[in-house]
Chains A and B, each alone.
Chain A
Amino acid sequence: DQQVKQNSPSLSVQEGRISILNCDYTNSMFDYFLWYKKYPAEGPTFLISISSIKDKNEDGRFTVFLNKSAKHLSLHIVPSQPGDSAVYFCAAPLRGGKLIFGQGTELSVKP
């Protein structure tokens, strides 16, 4: 049972434009969400998080939006840069630190 879903395996955007990566979840018990970024041959790197008591969290070019009623979150990158090209994972923790990951979305930012 896939509790965290990223339905777009890939996304291609032009440099300078906005990248929007989407994530849906099914477990109402999730109260915290994280985005990780992963380059090839490296481990995932924490990018940004959001608590369920908020609907938006911003950090520089990265903003995460949470819509609890729709069980949906999105990561916005503005403006997108070629160095943002990577796989982005949405994740949510359960008790004990068990992170449930989505399948990932591969972002390609073209110069």
Chain B
Amino acid sequence: DTAVSQTPKYLVTQMGNDKSIKCEQNLGHDTMYWYKQDSKKFLKIMFSYNNKELIINETVPNRFSPKSPDKAHLNLHINSLELGDSAVYFCASSQTLLISGTGDFGTQYFGPGTRLLVL
């Protein structure tokens, strides 16, 4: 039973194309995220959704559009792909959002990643 799954695992495409990456979690979590790991291996958040509502949009170009049809799914659609979009994209989920002031934190569980290569 895969807790957080992503498809596809590998994606090779040409510049200018539009592509989507799908993410599903079967943990019953309320919050889902997209992270990007660039060539320097930095992991940076792109988006977070809580109960299908956008919470974080981390200055990502509007060519990237997340869509959450329900709490268990958060898909990432990328328009007009550019060379610099080549990276590994990770989906994650957590039971809750950070609750400030208490130290409580919804531990985030990550999917296996989607390796995107734009040629």
Contact = CB atoms under 8 A, between A and B. Distances in A.
Contacts of B62: none
B97 A97 contact: yes
B90 A44 contact: yes
B110 A45 contact: yes
Contacts of A87: 41
Interface stretch (B11-19, B69-77, B79-87, B98-106): B98-106
A41 B55 CA distance: 28
Contact of A46 (B31, B48, B56, B107): B107
Given A46-B109, A97-B55, A31 B103 contact: yes
Interface residues of B, number: 31
Interface string A18-54: 0000000000000110101000011111100101110
Identify the interface centre among B90, B97, B108: most chain A CB within 10 Å of its CB. Answer: B108
B4 interface: yes
A44 B107 contact: no
Contact of A98 (B41, B58, B107): B58
Contacts of A44: 43, 90, 110
Contact of B4 (A32, A34, A43): A43
Contacts of A45: 110
Contacts of A42: 112-113
A63 interface: no
A104 B43 CA distance: 9
B105 A93 contact: yes
Nearest to B101: A31
Across the A-B interface, the 10 shortest Cβ-Cβ residue pairs: A43-B110, A101-B43, A51-B103, A44-B110, A97-B97, A32-B105, A93-B98, A43-B112, A96-B55, A96-B56
